[in-house]
A and B are shown apart, each in its own frame.
Chain A
């Protein structure tokens, strides 16, 4: 209750300040007309008007004109292009808000401009995350482009805001998508490498990200399994030995250390304990297999994990 009252008071103060600060705005007839059209939600005519204002040396020298321009593009984006990840009006809105911010040396419109930039930033972030769920190898760079825009606008909207949480979530989501793409074509190691790279970035950002360590281990372990699955009647004994050496490296030097890291962070997580059991089984570490088998039994008894149905 206290907070909402404070916010309401802040908004009223802000509005009052904006009115007062633009008491001399009679010299900006085109911009004001555009603003009036905005209040009537007539954004297309407003856009025409503000385009005229841009041609006026006097009006285009005022940050308020750029703020109004950004506002119009933002509203058109919301009305007409919401969901369009390549929205041109969103782009134009962002650039105009940045210009307004840059010119607004007295800070007249700064608070509202930053709020608007934060709105645009959030839309880029959401689009970037959405795109991480459906990109393919032809469009794999798109999420990063959107995410870069998010970071740029956030930098101006809320300078000093930590990006760790956002970076971590975005990279985790990129890793998941690359992993999914790999499952669609397990002969292509490229998405597997990308998935592992993104998860590795997650653990660089957050060394307590057990899920990311686990996922790196899964990428390398599964990669070895997929190679082993190709062994068959036509495999030469020499190839069998070469495949094994490659797989031993994946399992022993890449999957195991990451799974052990995940285990240190989350020793009672079923997937991790099971993962370690399978990795040690692949390396024929019998004592470790026995240990983790017992751990699974203990965790099941204590109701901490549930055995997945086959």
Chain B
């Protein structure tokens, strides 16, 4: 009789596990990504006076480094009609450069009235991102609706600046 007595002693049961580490959340500023694209759409789909269709197409960003970073890396040097898009990060609006578009971030909200005054004779499209900015002189203002960024515009104020809103822009603006 040869019983398998050895078996009991040789069984070693090992259960091992794997570490359950957390996954990495992407840190991109998605709001800045969308705003940057909208700014590009505004540049591309509105019409500026003929005398501003020469040289570079200047788009200035006041107070939002993330929008500037995305704008310049993704859209910088892209053609706007026959012009080349030049994205500028601004701490103040320069007198010597004519801006086609000026985005004023909420963090620089207090500067809006000053720039509305300074730019009153220029065809600069002022874009903002806070409630009530249109009544303070902005032409286009971003709004967040249920997690989506949309925009409202003051058509008359744009036309007063000799900027003709494009069909697509009018079509997608919030009424």
Report which A residues bind B (CB closer than 8 A). 11, 14-15, 18-19, 22-23, 25-26, 32-33, 35-36, 38-39, 67-68, 71, 112, 115-116, 118-119, 121-122, 125-126, 129, 132-133, 166, 169, 172-173, 176, 179, 211, 214-215, 217-219, 221-222, 224-226, 228-229, 231-233, 235, 237-238, 240-241, 244-245, 247-249, 251-252, 271, 274-275, 278, 281-284
Distance from A81 Cβ to chain B, minimum over Cβ atoms (Å) = 16
A-B contact count (CB 8 A): 159
Q: Are A169 and B148 in contact (CB under 8 A)?
A: no
Distance from B8 Cβ to chain A, minimum over Cβ atoms (Å) = 6
Q: Are B149 and A244 in contact (CB under 8 A)?
A: yes
- In addition to A33-B2, A218-B25, 9 A-B residue pairs with Cβ atoms within 8 Å of each other are A22-B3, A25-B1, A219-B23, A228-B30, A231-B34, A232-B74, A241-B172, A278-B27, A284-B144
Distance from A248 Cβ to chain B, minimum over Cβ atoms (Å) = 3
Q: Are A275 and B13 in contact (CB under 8 A)?
A: no
Interface residues on B, range: 35 or more
Q: Are A228 and B33 in contact (CB under 8 A)?
A: yes
Interface mask (B9-30 → A, CB under 8 Å = 1, otherwise 0): 1011111111011111111111
Q: Are B33 and A233 in contact (CB under 8 A)?
A: no
Interface mask (B48-87 → A, CB under 8 Å = 1, otherwise 0): 0000000000000000000000000011001000000000
Residue B4 at the chain A interface, CB threshold 8 Å: yes
Q: Are A11 and B20 in contact (CB under 8 A)?
A: no
Q: Please measure, in the bound complex, the distance between the C-alpha atom of A231 and the C-alpha atom of B13, giving whole angstroms.
A: 53
Residues of A within 8 A of B37 (CB): 231-232, 235, 240
Q: Are B31 and A282 in contact (CB under 8 A)?
A: yes
**Contact among A35, A231, A237 for B4, CB-based, below 8 A:** A35
Residues of B within 8 A of A215 (CB): 22-23
Q: Are B29 and A281 in contact (CB under 8 A)?
A: yes
Q: Please measure, in the bound complex, the distance between the C-alpha atom of A232 and the C-alpha atom of B4, giving whole angstroms.
A: 71
21 residue pairs A–B, Cβ–Cβ below 8 Å: A32-B1, A112-B4, A112-B8, A122-B15, A125-B15, A129-B18, A176-B23, A214-B23, A215-B22, A218-B22, A218-B24, A221-B25, A225-B28, A233-B75, A235-B37, A237-B38, A237-B168, A240-B38, A244-B147, A248-B146, A283-B144
Q: Are A176 and B20 in contact (CB under 8 A)?
A: yes
Residues of A within 8 A of B40 (CB): 233
Residue B161 at the chain A interface, CB threshold 8 Å: no
Q: Are A271 and B11 in contact (CB under 8 A)?
A: no
**Contact among A71, A218, A281 for B31, CB-based, below 8 A:** A281
Report which B residues bind A (CB closer than 8 A). 1-9, 11-18, 20-31, 33-34, 37-38, 40-41, 45, 74-75, 78, 144, 146-150, 168-169, 172
Residues of B within 8 A of A248 (CB): 146-148
CB-based nearest A residue for B24: A218
Q: Are B74 and A214 in contact (CB under 8 A)?
A: no
Q: Are B16 and A129 in contact (CB under 8 A)?
A: yes
Q: Are B144 and A126 in contact (CB under 8 A)?
A: no
